[in-house]
Each structure stands twice: as structure tokens, then as C-alpha cells.
Structure 1
Amino acid sequence: MEFKFTALFVSAIVTLIVGFVWYNPKVFETIWMRENNLTEEDLKKGNMLKIFGLTYIFSLMITVILMSLTIHQSGAIGMVGGPPKLESAKPSFAAFMADYGMAYRTFKHGALHGFMSGLFFAFPLIGINGLFERKSWKYIFVNSGYWLVTLTLMGGIICAFA
């Protein structure tokens, strides 16, 4: 099984695309700004190249974990010692991969695991931080909703195309 790393690079862009829509004034920007006590002037002060660049790098880091969560075959590959050891794996591994190498490799399956990652990982993290920072439930739900949608799409792309 060969991974296509271009799918990881493409899925990392999803954080920016969904962010442009999600935090648009016609969607959730107004609520998000109010809950963070931000003004338009505050938003103009940031270095957007730095913010978008680091967002993309952090998103690439997320794709590495999502790949192992959405592509179950990566666990089988890990069991034989990873890609460097594939050539020396026992014949039973090759037979297993021939039978199941593409099992559950669909957008729908990856989206399910991405959604679960958002619900059971991102939401609790944002919720815990929000509670200690004394943020409102609106803040928690707006930001968690963003990650639910983003991770769902990222998981689907990675599982189907990586």
C-alpha cells in the first residue's frame, strides 16, 4: 500500500478554507468576535502571512494523526515495523494486504473518523480551555463546530485519497 502525500497537503488546506467560510461575517464571525472581545481593528493588527503559514504547518501536523486514525491499514504496517520493513515481512502480511489493503478506504469512512476526532478530542479540549478561561458556551460551540466540520472533511480526504 502506497500513500499519496499530496492528499495530506491538500487536506491541510481545509483548515483555511473552512475557516474563511465559518468565521465569515455572514456566518459566525460576529459571534466569535463578540465572545473574544475583539474588534475589526484588533483583527487588522495580526501578521496574516505568519498566521496562515503557521496554521498550515499545524494543519499538516494534524494530518499525520488523522492518517493513523482514518486509515486502519497503517496499524498493520506498523505491526511489521513500518515502511522500511515491508519487504522483509512474512508472506501472510502480503496476503492480508492483498485482501484488505483497501478496506474502509472511502471518504465516508474517513469523514466518520474525522467527526469522531472532533467530537471526542477537539470538543473536549476546547471545552476544557473555555471553561477555565471563563468563556461562554457560544464560544465553545462556535470553535468546536469549526473543528468538527474541519476534521470531518480532513478525515474524508485523507482516508479516500492518501
Structure 2
Amino acid sequence: MFDVNYIAVLVAAVSSFILGGLWYSPVLFGKAWMRESGFDETQAGHPGKVFGFAFVFSVIAAFCFASLVGQNPSLMMAIHYALIVGIGFVAMSFGINYQFSNKSFLLLAIDGGYHLGQFLLFALVYAYWPA
């Protein structure tokens, strides 16, 4: 039905999941993200549910991006689409919501930056995945 490589989709999803773990860890932007978003660790959901749904959402995003770029895209084409999707669609959609909810530009940069990185990773996986 869709012209995608399902193994590449899973690899792309895992790569973005790993990026998210690092991106939102105290090593990188975790402390700033918690402060800017008003996140209270004592009210966090069950880790299994949170990480499980996050992975499912990563798989869906990876699948949709694979459907967009097709199998074996050129690196430049895949990066081009990653920039359009990551910045133009995802980050700007967050920007609209964050303006109306009075969230900071720093939070937009953190969340938008993660998703830009996510789609750039997808681009690398799909461009370099063996035919």
C-alpha cells in the first residue's frame, strides 16, 4: 500500500527516541525544559505509558516522513523535506500554540529543535538506507 521500508521506519523511530532521551535529559535541555514548561515531576504519568506512547508517536512520524520522501531519497532531498517538516510544520505549529498559551521562546526552541533533529535523523536514515 505504501512504498516504505518498514525496517528503516523502525530504525528511524528508534533514532528519534534516543535523540529525545538525550535532548530532554539533564545533560542537554531537560532542566531548562522542565523550568520553561512548568513540568512537575511529582505529577508525571506512568513511565511505561509515557515512553510507550512516545515510541508509538515516533513510529507514526517516521512512517509518515518515509511516505513523504519515498524509498532511497537523495540526501539533499531528504534534508530539504526534513527542514520543511521540522521547522515549517512542526516548530511553527508549536509557535502558534505557544503564543496563545504564553509559553517562552526558549521552550519553543527546545521543543522545535528536538523535532527538527528528529526529522533530520529520519532524513539520514532514509537517504543512507541500503536499497
Could you tell me the TM-score, scaled by structure 1's length?
0.70
Aligned positions, number:
128
Distance of 2:6 and 2:83 partners within structure 1: 21
- Superposed, 1:20-31 pairs within 5 Å as 20-31=21-32
Structure 2 unmatched ranges of 5 or more: none
**Paired residue for 1:63?**
62
Computing the radius of gyration from Cα coordinates, the structure with the larger value is 1
Identity over the aligned pairs, expressed in percent? 28
Secondary structure of 1:24 counterpart: coil
2:84 matched residue in structure 1: 116
State the Cα RMSD in Å.
2.1
SS in 1 for 2:86: helix
Distance 1:65 1:18, change over 3 A: same
Matched, 1:156 2:124: yes
Question: Any idea what the Cα deviations from partners look like across 1:32-81, whole Å, max 9, x if unmatched?
Answer: 00011124434xx421111111111112211222113222x7xxxxxxxx
For residue 5 of structure 1, report the CA deviation from its aligned partner: 1.2
Structure 1 residue 147: Cα displacement: 0.5
Task: Within 5 Å, give how 1:29-108 maps onto structure 2.
Answer: 29-42=30-43, 45-71=44-70, 105-108=73-76
Displacement of 1:3 after TM fit? 4.4
The gaps in structure 1 that reach 5 residues or longer are 74-101
Q: Verify the 8 A CA contact 1:21 1:27 in the aligned structure 2.
A: yes
Query: Which letter maps to 1:13?
Result: V
Measured in 2, the distance between the counterparts of 1:5 and 1:68 equals: 11
